[in-house]
Structure 1
Amino acid sequence: MHRAIADPRHSAAPGCVAVGFEKGRLAQFAAAGLADIDEGRPLDRNTLFYGASLSKQFTALAAATLIADGKLGLDDDVRRYLPELPRYRAPVTVAMLMHHTSGIRDSLGLLRMAGMTDVGRASKQEALRLLFRQADTAFVPGTRYAYSNGGYLLLAEIVERVAGMPFAQYAHQAIFAPLGMPNAYFLDDASPRPGTFAHGYVPAGTDGGAEGSGFIQRDTFPRFSGSGGLMLSMADLAQYEADIEHGRRVFTPEVTRILLTPGRYSDGTPIDDGKGLSYGGGLHIGRKGGQRVIRHGGSAEAFKHAYLRLPETHRAFAVLCNRGDWKAGDRLDRIMAANGVPAPGLPDVQPMGLFHSPELNTDYRIVAEGTGLSVQVTSPLVDETRILHFIPEDDGAYHAGATTITPTGDPARIVVSRGSSGPIIFRAVSTPSGSR
């Protein structure tokens, strides 16, 4: 697990913490990199990260506790709680905010279009005022799925008004305290206390500086909560997972039903998030590669996170990174592979060997490259051998730009396609022993 998050190129670099859970219990933990490069403070299980969009499942959880108590309704018109909003073409409901079908515009996008390059300087009230000024929604509420930070900012504001206390205070009272999450809290228009959290970093050269000269600190995250704003450690996530599997102090059956029921459009059609899953309460949910999947990511300029739970096998994995140049999903896939757990939907066959297509008169010599493929392409049409690097994706195939290699289940055959120029069958000339 450590190898999947370590950076051998830099002696002083930001990095990641990673965990694997089995039946709600911490089975594996690894940390690599620094929370503060200047101070040399390392990342560990108690390090607080800015959670970015991982926050949404906790915002939805806060709302779900009020819904389960009968204080809030999924079908309630949000203007009941937010009369500052205009009357739109169709009513926006609490469920629409939770499921990203409201058409409410993205608050962070609005702030940036209004000229604010660093949204970390915005206050909650400034973001809310922009949302309240929108004369219309982006589409008729309930008719489309469009991921919206604005919808979750409004959801948090509704929780605050229904609970009668600041959202951060209610989240502590209803979630963090009963779960025993030792470090977690939501920001409330203030920066985290210095020395208590991981700074975010991007490589030097991002703003035109010299490449290869280290990392630049970037704590450019919003200081208000709802769409983001959660400060979270892996020690906190361990308590969260334990309650899902064993405790039920917060994840009661009713709360779980609210969060994990796929949303629907107004016509009753299930939501499609565009990536083969639906959306529930702050979570992408559905089936991938025959497995039930619950997942979400989090991304800010200098923070990249990924979280995935496989409820049928009672396993979960998470990675929190304080560097903006890494893809957390790729790190998560590596961590899972190191544990012998293929990421849902990824190819379950890694073809290796020499393959030939008579139709193209071309050879593909394929070798494993981590979880991906390195492919040497030889053709009489070109004098030089070309090397392509394919990465696995959760559609069950390997991709290098527009070119796709799809295993067939038969180690002697692969299918190669590129747009409308495929599929082309390649047959094995030779395969190494032990290839899968």
Structure 2
Amino acid sequence: MPRKSLVSSFLFLGLTFAPALAAAGEGAARHQGSLPTHRHKQVDAIFAPWSGKTTPGCGVGISREGTLDYVRGYGMSNLEYDVPITPQSIFYTGSITKQFTAFAIGLLAQEGKLSLGDDLRKYLPEMPDFGKTITIAHLMHHTNGLREQGQLLSLAGWRSEDLYTEADVLWALTRQRGLNFAPGSEVVYGNAAYTLLGVIVRRVSGKSLRAFADERMFKPLGMANTHLYDDHAELVPWRVSAYAPREGGGWRTSGPHNDSTKLFTTIVDLLKWEQNLLDGRVGGPELIALLQTSGRLNDGTATLYGGGLRLAGYRGLRMVSHDGLDGGYRSEALLFPDHRLAIVALCNGSTIDPSNLARKVADVYLGEHMKDDMPPAVKVPEAELSALAGNYWSPLTGEVVRLEFKDGALRQVGVPTAFVPIGNGGFRPGESMHLWRFSKPAAGAPRELSIRDSWPTTRPFIRITAPMPAASALASFAGKYRSDELDMTYTVRVADGKLGIRWSRRDEVVLDAVGGDHFVGSLGTVTFTRAASGGIDGLTFSQRRLRRLRAERLVVAETPRAESSGATR
């Protein structure tokens, strides 16, 4: 609808948007008055910490049975100009975009223009042949094994504040010679796959993803204030600014630096989309079912991820959801299909957790139908907790996690959340359902740890028992290392008793020793490798979404020295 009529429509909160209710505004307003207002007060209480005039905040909307039940803005859209968040505010939603990209792929598949089993190189022949086929379905379900785009570009010299484009992502991906894992063998969430899906939409349809979505999704659903942003210089009226904490207090701006296609929308428009995930007015029931069908690994394990949608339930209820974050923007959209309830929270502060807040709203509306599935805490002696602290390395991913015993609890170094013991060597981080489980080591063997987060693939870790390198040994790691996959040379040096690594225009990253040839820094885990002779011949970079990217050590030819005439030196 035009923006003028949109603004006037928010004068009552019973605005309807389901097709069958398009003319039911007056009845919806009466319905709003009859709803238990205490629910709305409970929602206000949940977002009260972000409702002031000196903080960023959130826009929140709840719909039931196709009717907008409650919508409200909390906090400020722009702190510099004293602009509050309102239902008309337009947010950047980050990875919520993925379901729209998957929907576009599904529409093209319905028309017979592509198949989910197609090799991605059919549409992107410039991608390397990794020796194993990566299909469109692998891309949709995060089972493709591609290295993460942002981490690749960071290691290629992009700084956090630099803008990067789709062309930059393609440059990095087409240079890769290795994968994180064989396609279909694991599931690891990443953004590179969905960038490639967007390119496939353009090459198959002949239209940009933005134009395709506008014609085939947004206009038919009346999402007049929604578009897929593909130009960082474009002016967007009613756009919300984003913020992160400033050291010493206050806030600083924190916008995204990814110029690939992302969703800009309002609370109410996004609720219209959630309604389409229920009734399939656009795309039909088969496509809606496709998006809500889990992918599977080669061994048949369900990934709990469909087409741009997370399918893990919540407290015993079926839930379809997705979150998003980029810069200071944070977002969450929850849908409970069996109760026809949708909850959307779009926020503009990096310290706000809309996923947690939206689930608290769900508790208010559906608590009577939910069960408490949080594993209860058990008592563990502090001596046993302290014994688990240490550094653990994963032979699967190459990454290192560091644990410490602090303030009476086991914690991950640098993360404030305490681990809650739940018995049999298991722990959950805070109130999450993630499982960290320690095994009892055999005599003389190092302790092992397994981590299962929101994905079904479990990551194994083994405690690092190798000693820390002596200060005098650090010089053996210094030198230059070259990665042809990223066209970058890295310089490692010793400074102030620690290793540092520098590349391109990046500030030097300090590497902390964690045992043996393993080091950690802000770029993840750096592991130095050795030749058969025992000398250092290279290094690898590893993170959760990027494994063992290798750089070879460069041999510097020695310059012949002039003969000394006996002088001491």
- Flag whether TM exceeds 0.5 (same fold): yes
- Please say if residues 23 and 315 of structure 1, whose CA atoms lie closer than 8 Å, have aligned partners that are also in contact: yes
Structure 1 residue 142 and structure 2 residue 184: aligned? yes
Structure 1 residue 30 and structure 2 residue 72: aligned? yes
Alignment of 1:53-64 (within 5 A): 53-64=95-106
State the one-letter code of the partner of 1:110: L
Structure 1 residue 222 and structure 2 residue 253: aligned? no
Q: Residue 132 of structure 1 aligns with which residue? A: 174
Alignment of 1:9-24 (within 5 A): 10-24=52-66
Task: Provide closer, same or farther for how the CA distance between residues 162 and 182 of structure 1 changes in structure 2, counting only shifts above 3 A.
Answer: same
Deviation at 1:339?
A: 3.0
Q: Residue 271 of structure 1 aligns with which residue? A: 302
Structure 1 residue 262 and structure 2 residue 294: aligned? yes
Alignment of 1:396-415 (within 5 A): 401-404=418-421
CA distance in 1, matches of 2:144, 2:266: 31
State the one-letter code of the partner of 1:253: P
Unaligned runs of 5+ in 2: 1-42, 382-406, 410-415, 424-434, 440-569
Q: 1:109 aligns with which of 151, 166, 179?
A: 151
Task: Provide closer, same or farther for how the CA distance between residues 344 and 186 of structure 1 changes in structure 2, counting only shifts above 3 A.
Answer: farther
Q: Residue 252 of structure 1 aligns with which residue? A: 284
- Partner of 1:335, secondary structure, is helix
Alignment of 1:378-393 (within 5 A): none
Residues 44-70 of structure 1: per-residue CA shift (max 9 Å, x gap): 222111111111111111111111111
Bigger Cα displacement from structure 2, 331-340 vs 28-37: 331-340
Task: Provide closer, same or farther for how the CA distance between residues 348 and 251 of structure 1 changes in structure 2, counting only shifts above 3 A.
Answer: farther
- Partner of 1:264, secondary structure, is coil
Alignment of 1:224-239 (within 5 A): 224-225=260-261, 229-239=262-272
CA distance in 2, matches of 1:11, 1:135: 51
- Partner of 1:231, secondary structure, is strand
CA distance in 1, matches of 2:289, 2:161: 34
Q: Residue 362 of structure 2 aligns with which residue? A: 336
Q: Residue 41 of structure 1 aligns with which residue? A: 83
State the one-letter code of the partner of 2:341: R
Residues 283-341 of structure 1: per-residue CA shift (max 9 Å, x gap): 11144443212111111230111121111111121211100011112211222233353
- Partner of 1:312, secondary structure, is helix
Task: Provide closer, same or farther for how the CA distance between residues 173 and 9 of structure 1 changes in structure 2, counting only shifts above 3 A.
Answer: closer
Task: Provide closer, same or farther for how the CA distance between residues 88 and 419 of structure 1 changes in structure 2, counting only shifts above 3 A.
Answer: closer
Q: 2:332 aligns with which of 306, 313, 317?
A: 306
CA RMSD of aligned residues (A): 3.0
- Partner of 2:235, secondary structure, is coil
Structure 1 residue 325 and structure 2 residue 351: aligned? yes
The size of the alignment, in residue pairs, is 356
- Please say if residues 45 and 233 of structure 1, whose CA atoms lie closer than 8 Å, have aligned partners that are also in contact: yes
Deviation at 1:387?
A: 10
State the one-letter code of the partner of 2:328: A
Q: Residue 209 of structure 2 aligns with which residue? A: 167
Task: Provide closer, same or farther for how the CA distance between residues 15 and 302 of structure 1 changes in structure 2, counting only shifts above 3 A.
Answer: same
- Please say if residues 202 and 217 of structure 1, whose CA atoms lie closer than 8 Å, have aligned partners that are also in contact: yes
Deviation at 1:350?
A: 10
Q: TM-score, normalised by structure 2?
A: 0.58
- Please say if residues 315 and 372 of structure 2, whose CA atoms lie closer than 8 Å, have aligned partners that are also in contact: yes
CA distance in 2, matches of 1:127, 1:343: 44
- Please say if residues 201 and 302 of structure 1, whose CA atoms lie closer than 8 Å, have aligned partners that are also in contact: yes
Q: Residue 240 of structure 1 aligns with which residue? A: 273
State the one-letter code of the partner of 1:291: L
Q: Residue 151 of structure 1 aligns with which residue? A: 193
Residues 115-172 of structure 1: per-residue CA shift (max 9 Å, x gap): 2223661121111111111122221111110111000000110011001011111111
- Please say if residues 101 and 146 of structure 1, whose CA atoms lie closer than 8 Å, have aligned partners that are also in contact: yes
CA distance in 1, matches of 2:296, 2:251: 43
Unaligned runs of 5+ in 1: 273-277, 361-385, 389-398, 407-416, 422-436
State the one-letter code of the partner of 1:199: S
Task: Provide closer, same or farther for how the CA distance between residues 8 and 174 of structure 1 changes in structure 2, counting only shifts above 3 A.
Answer: closer
- Please say if residues 139 and 193 of structure 2, whose CA atoms lie closer than 8 Å, have aligned partners that are also in contact: yes
State the one-letter code of the partner of 1:230: L
CA distance in 1, matches of 2:421, 2:330: 27
Task: Provide closer, same or farther for how the CA distance between residues 348 and 100 of structure 1 changes in structure 2, counting only shifts above 3 A.
Answer: closer
Alignment of 1:62-211 (within 5 A): 62-118=104-160, 121-193=163-235, 195-205=237-247, 210-211=248-249
Residues 313-372 of structure 1: per-residue CA shift (max 9 Å, x gap): 111212111000111122112222333537966558999xxxx99x98xxxxxxxxxxxx
Deviation at 1:8?
A: 6.4
- Partner of 1:86, secondary structure, is coil
CA distance in 1, matches of 2:233, 2:368: 38
CA distance in 1, matches of 2:212, 2:161: 24
Bigger Cα displacement from structure 2, 338-347 vs 295-304: 338-347
- Partner of 2:318, secondary structure, is strand
- Please say if residues 52 and 74 of structure 2, whose CA atoms lie closer than 8 Å, have aligned partners that are also in contact: no
CA distance in 2, matches of 1:401, 1:8: 24
Bigger radius of gyration: 2
- Please say if residues 289 and 344 of structure 1, whose CA atoms lie closer than 8 Å, have aligned partners that are also in contact: yes
Residues 82-112 of structure 1: per-residue CA shift (max 9 Å, x gap): 0000111211100000000011121122122
- Please say if residues 242 and 329 of structure 2, whose CA atoms lie closer than 8 Å, have aligned partners that are also in contact: yes
CA distance in 2, matches of 1:297, 1:346: 23
Q: Residue 275 of structure 1 aligns with which residue? A: none
Task: Provide closer, same or farther for how the CA distance between residues 332 and 116 of structure 1 changes in structure 2, counting only shifts above 3 A.
Answer: same
Q: Percent identity?
A: 29
